[in-house]
Amino acid sequence: MKVYPTSKIRNIALVGHGGTGKTSLAEAMLYNTGATTRLGKVDDGNTVADFLPEEVKKKITISTSLVPCEYRDHKINVLDTPGFADFYFEVIGAARVADTLVMILSANAGVEVQTEVVWEDFPDMPKLVFVNKMDRENADFFKVLDQLKDTFSDVVVPVQIPIGSESSFKGVVDLVKMKAYTFEEGSGKMTEGEIPADMMDDVELYKEQLIEAAAEADDDLLAKYLEGEELTDAEILTGIKKAAASGSAVFVFCGSAVKNIGIQPFMDFVVDCAATPEDNPLYKEMDQSKLAIQVFKTIADPYIGRLNMFRVFTGTMKADNSYYNASKEKDERIAQLLVMTGKEQSAVPELNTGDIAAVAKLNTTATGDTLCQKSNPVSMDPIEFPQPTLNMAIEPKSKGDEDKLSGALQRIKEEDPTIIIEKNTETKQTLLKSMGDTHVDILIEKLKSKFGVDVISKDMKIPYRETIRATIEAEGKHKKQSGGHGQYGHVKIRFEPLAEGDFEFGEQVFGGSVPRQYFPAVEKGLMEALDEGVLAGYPVTSLKATLFDGSYHSVDSSEMAFKMAARLAFRKGLEGAKPVLLEPIMNVEIVIPESFMGDIIGDLNSKRGRVQGMEPVGRKQLIKAQVPLAEMARYTIDLKSMTQGRGKFTMEYSHYEEVPAQNADKIIEKARQEKEEKEK
């Protein structure tokens, strides 16, 4: 692939709901440029963009892939993104480096959840709409067009209208060129003709809307239009270019990607009118004399190592050079610049402003990092990815694979910026925080197929705690005689609730009943005992212990004996001090469309949640609540179900609170059963 100047580069991200045909559109674009000799199909598992084993198996996109198309002496960098909510972070990465979002909609399904999510999250980004699957049953272009206008505040204007629909769909009328184009199914061969007479009423209606959108993008054209003068074809095209590049209007196309109908006119529009790299707001804000490169995606491969995908925002990048990672403050040596077409790679000597490519085997560079010249440093804002909300525990099927799993998780973490892996010291579980259950399934498949580690997932254990509600004095005596020196330790300890903090030890021993040198041993014995409470074996917190009396033996007493005595006193004391179970309470913030308010609040009440407040956030509502962690374990899945995927939430730890008696009884009984099973 040759090196392209900035003016001849177009960067588009195909985005939208799952199953709308994003990958099929990318495949048709590649085929029409001669990059492939056959039109690959998702169902056949032979597309260029979906090449991961998990994508072929599930027939869905789970990872953004780059498929550049060389068309009319231009390079269109096509980023094919996933349409499922669990992989939305891939869309966010792609949107950082694209200049235009191409929203793909199904002609028979219209505006779906992920369409709304992407549109709302990137309100100022230029957008085009491609209404796909015009050949399918119940396809209705005009219904989808009306839905777009009703749902979004943007100026939504068709550039084409379809000739026929469902099984009779055969082409489009181009409202700019005022010509009809019909297509040969599969080959995409296009035939130009006159507009059918029975379509002229619709054509004139939408042509007027197109002229109005073009005029509003340019002050001179608008003045001429308002004065009633007719705009020339060249002027209309100028206005359309400005509107498309700035995002002041959203232009709508239609076609069938799997049948390769209507794809070529869409590609022509991308080349002629879509935003260029120099239209990108980030480019305009930057010092264009400096080199600035940002990594938007990392692929971890067990054989070739790390592959970083990036965009050159300003400047020219050359192969066989050293660059400075401003984010990590480290130098990186780059041998080859790789143009990716799906999984295929080809080397180029340099890349100009606006181009997108990849580099292999960098030492420290990760997603979001900025590469630049050390002599002229620049640092771009990191990409803000969503926080994971689903907690699952994972463990290797084979006990000997712990180290292997740890290494594999670190590699997967390199390519997935949303997962968090942490070891919970209380529950002894390795927790994998992810975006949802599909995300977990894919991660587990990747661990097996890529890194050879078989893992199983389990529900996260809730880190309960125990404490006391009463003050009590307890005695502990450890006495053992077995030839030679015996063991003797005797303590009396007062246990009481502690208002702040986990544990506090004090002493009020008079007359040397317990020698001072044994105080640390008593404290140590108590601290070790804190790990396991008397109700269900959970750690004990908010406890004050005061050693106030005891006795010793001049020969048989030892630190070990007093440690053991302290532990005995602890067990005895806590059993009589009204022990209770505590659970973690989370601060939860939920953002949802207002229509779901009743359902969400009702569900929070059923989860023992307390709503703290509500406030509007744009067109949505923010609910603030405090909810026990035990009730939030699978809330990611619940919220998706209740809001059809339109809700988002975050949560963070707030405090511990007493578990209601009926819930505590079940937790204690379960812990008892698990202990018995373990002992068997």
Which are the contacts of 461, defined by CB distance < 8 A and separation ≥ 6?
393, 424, 427, 429
Mean residue pLDDT of the chain comes to 93
Residue 585 has pLDDT above 80, yes or no: yes
**Residue 609: per-residue pLDDT:** 96
Taking CA atoms, 308 is separated from 131, 356, 365, 370, in Å, by 32, 11, 8, 12
For residue range 469-491, list pLDDT tens digits in order. 999 999 999 998 766 678 999 99
- 572/324 Cα distance (integer angstroms): 63
Residue 276 has pLDDT above 80, yes or no: yes
Whole-prediction pTM: 0.88
For residue range 529-563, list pLDDT tens digits in order. 999 999 999 999 999 999 999 999 988 889 999 99
Residue 589 has pLDDT above 70, yes or no: yes
Choice between 41 and 607, residue whose per-residue pLDDT is larger: 607
**Residue 638: per-residue pLDDT:** 94
Which of 136-145, 269-278, 392-401, 460-469 shows the lowest per-residue confidence on average (mean pLDDT)? 392-401
**Residue 72: per-residue pLDDT:** 96
Cβ atoms of residues 505 and 431 within 8 Å = no
Choice between 301 and 160, residue whose per-residue pLDDT is larger: 160
Report residue 406 CA to chain centroid gap. 21
How many other C-beta atoms can be found within 10 angstroms of the C-beta atom of residue 668?
18
- 357/15 Cα distance (integer angstroms): 20
Which residue in 71, 93, 72 sits closest to 15, CA to CA?
A: 93
Which of 124-138, 415-429, 475-489, 654-668 shows the lowest per-residue confidence on average (mean pLDDT)? 475-489
CATH 3.40.50.300 for the 584-663 domain, yes or no? no
Residue 451 has pLDDT above 70, yes or no: yes
Report residue 357 CA to chain centroid gap. 22
**Residue 107: per-residue pLDDT:** 97
- 93/255 Cα distance (integer angstroms): 27
Report residue 171 CA to chain centroid gap. 38
Residue 503 has pLDDT above 70, yes or no: yes
SS3 state at 9 = strand
Which residue shows structure tokens 């792609």? 94
Share of the chain above pLDDT 70, in %: 99
Which are the contacts of 443, defined by CB distance < 8 A and separation ≥ 6?
412, 416, 419, 432, 434
Q: List phi, psi (to 5°) of 355.
A: -80, 160
Element containing residue 653 per DSSP (H, E): strand 648-658
DSSP 58: H
On the CB side of 216, how many CA atoms lie within 13 Å of its CA? 17
Cβ atoms of residues 437 and 390 within 8 Å = yes
- 12/245 Cα distance (integer angstroms): 12
Taking CA atoms, 141 is separated from 185, 199, 268, in Å, by 19, 14, 21
Q: What residues does each domain of the chain span?
A: 7-279, 285-372, 390-459, 466-577, 584-663
**Residue 672: per-residue pLDDT:** 87
Share of the chain above pLDDT 90, in %: 79
Which are the contacts of 620, defined by CB distance < 8 A and separation ≥ 6?
591, 592, 593, 594
Q: List phi, psi (to 5°) of 15.
A: -130, 165
Which residue shows structure tokens 């669990």? 86
CATH 1.10.110.30 for the 390-459 domain, yes or no? no
Domain range 466-577, its CATH number among 2.40.128.50, 3.10.20.70, 3.30.230.10, 3.40.50.150: 3.30.230.10
SS3 state at 64 = coil
The single-letter code of the amino acid at 357 is A
- 94/72 Cα distance (integer angstroms): 24
Choice between 248 and 44, residue whose per-residue pLDDT is larger: 248
Residue 493 has pLDDT above 90, yes or no: yes
On the CB side of 144, how many CA atoms lie within 13 Å of its CA? 28
Radius of gyration of the chain (CA): 33
Residue 351 has pLDDT above 90, yes or no: yes
Cβ atoms of residues 156 and 149 within 8 Å = yes
Mean pLDDT of 178-201: 93
- 347/358 Cα distance (integer angstroms): 10
**Residue 576: per-residue pLDDT:** 94
| One fold for 390-459 and 584-663 | yes
Second CATH level (architecture) for the domain 7-279:
3-Layer(aba) Sandwich (3.40)
Cβ atoms of residues 206 and 160 within 8 Å = no
pLDDT confidence band for 640 (50 / 70 / 90): very high
Mean pLDDT of 283-288: 94
Residue 302 has pLDDT above 70, yes or no: no
Taking CA atoms, 470 is separated from 201, 495, 580, in Å, by 84, 8, 10
DSSP for 326-363, written as a single string: TTTTEEEEE--EEEEETTEEEEESEE-TT-EEEEE--S
Cβ atoms of residues 14 and 102 within 8 Å = yes
Residue 511 has pLDDT above 90, yes or no: no
Taking CA atoms, 22 is separated from 129, 156, 258, 416, 594, in Å, by 12, 20, 10, 21, 30
For residue range 137-178, list pLDDT tens digits in order. 999 999 999 999 999 988 999 999 999 999 999 999 999 999
CA dihedral 542, 548, 553, 559 (to 10 degrees): 30
CA dihedral 225, 230, 236, 239 (to 10 degrees): -20
For residue range 101-125, list pLDDT tens digits in order. 999 999 999 999 999 999 999 999 9
Domain range 285-372, its CATH number among 3.50.50.60, 2.40.30.10, 2.120.10.80, 3.30.450.20: 2.40.30.10
